[in-house]
A and B are shown apart, each in its own frame.
Chain A
């Protein structure tokens, strides 16, 4: 296992379409996080899972966004009815149980462009 894997790496879509991103964490990590990063800004927290339970959600996660981690392994982030403002890099990270007080391992991200 070489790290956190995200797919697709790039996605171009038209406004109004739905998109889904997948994240495969490091296998022994029970915590999984989604962040969003727009150009010139630092990453912003969206949501976090411990095993299959979604324990925390940011106000940024509007009702058009849904994240799942059904078996406590991989996770998906779906954006419905995309808007141009959703254009960003979507980053996934995973960690051992100590979470943010320890080390988060980030993937390379999925870049979304909404036309």
Chain B
């Protein structure tokens, strides 16, 4: 399975945008890019995912590099509630040999938000 690399931690100020980077240089053309986050004492929460094109939803935006070797999760205005560990995960589509159940979480990026 392709691996991802994320900074261990990042800091942000409240109400400012946050750009969380993820490197995945060994990504294959059939791998989806997922972002989940985990608030303290809670289970992971889905944030966004994409394959090739940039994606937007109510929580965040996902910017995918043209060569797909990196991506950036963008929180447009950080709030204190966004303080969490953010995981960047790759999943291969099952008919290309990917697992049907296994999302491989790394250690993620711990985001701190200052008031």
Q: Give A91 to B99 CA distance when docked, in angstroms.
A: 18
Measured as residues with beta carbon below 8 angstroms from the partner, the interface class of chain B is 20 to 34
A43 in contact with B91 given A58-B102, A99-B100, A100-B103 (CB within 8 Å): no
Q: Give A102 to B103 CA distance when docked, in angstroms.
A: 11
Cβ-based interface call for A25 (8 A): no
Residues in A with CB closer than 8 Å to B41 are 108
Grouping DSSP codes into helix (H, G, I), strand (E, B) and loop, the B interface class, with mixed when no group exceeds half, is loop
Would B44 and A43 count as touching, CB distance under 8 A? yes
Residues in A with CB closer than 8 Å to B43 are 4, 91, 93, 106-109
Would B101 and A47 count as touching, CB distance under 8 A? yes
Q: Which of A3-62 contact B (CB under 8 A)?
A: 4, 31, 33, 40-45, 47-48, 50, 55-56, 58
| Min CB–CB distance A38 → chain B (angstroms) | 11
Would A33 and B107 count as touching, CB distance under 8 A? no
Measured as residues with beta carbon below 8 angstroms from the partner, the interface class of chain A is 20 to 34
Would A104 and B100 count as touching, CB distance under 8 A? no
The 10 A-B pairs with the shortest beta carbon distances in the complex, nearest first, are A48-B101, A42-B105, A106-B43, A45-B102, A103-B46, A100-B91, A56-B101, A106-B44, A43-B105, A91-B43
17 A-B contacts, Cβ less than 8 Å apart? A31-B101, A42-B105, A44-B105, A48-B101, A91-B43, A93-B43, A100-B91, A100-B103, A101-B32, A101-B98, A103-B49, A104-B44, A104-B46, A105-B46, A106-B43, A106-B45, A108-B42
